[in-house]
């Protein structure tokens, strides 16, 4: 019998603005909170011509969340 396929949900959020990047302390607090909720950062993208960062995170998609998303 084969293992079920792992499914993921993703979160993408930008931090900072065109004039200043995110503050380290505030970013760390946000990422700590994400980690407590099961999110794992998989990529950080610096934005061109800006001090913004886009953070991409993922976590396993639970059966409960899949069911919730399938309800019209």
Mention every residue, 6+ apart, whose C-beta is less than 8 A from residue 8.
Answer: 58, 59, 60, 61
pLDDT at position 2 is 79
Mention every residue, 6+ apart, whose C-beta is less than 8 A from residue 35.
Answer: none
pLDDT at position 35 is 97
Q: Using the predicted structure, report yes or no on whether residue 57 has a pLDDT greater than 90.
A: yes
pLDDT tens sequence across 11-54 = 999 999 878 889 999 999 999 999 999 999 999 999 888 889 99
What token pair was written down for 67?
A: 């069911």
What token pair was written down for 20?
A: 């200043």
Q: Residue 71: is it exposed, middle or buried by C-beta count within 10 angstroms (0-12/13-18/19+)? A: exposed
What token pair was written down for 46?
A: 């610096």
pTM for the structure as a whole: 0.81
């Amino acid at each position: 019998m084969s293992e079920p396929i792992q499914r993921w949900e993703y979160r993408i959020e930008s931090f900072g603005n065109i004039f200043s990047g995110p503050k380290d302390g505030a970013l760390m607090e946000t990422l700590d909170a994400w980690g407590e909720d099961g999110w794992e950062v998989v990529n950080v993208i610096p934005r061109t011509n800006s001090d913004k960062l886009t953070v991409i995170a993922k976590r396993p998609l639970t059966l409960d969340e899949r069911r919730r998303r399938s309800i019209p």
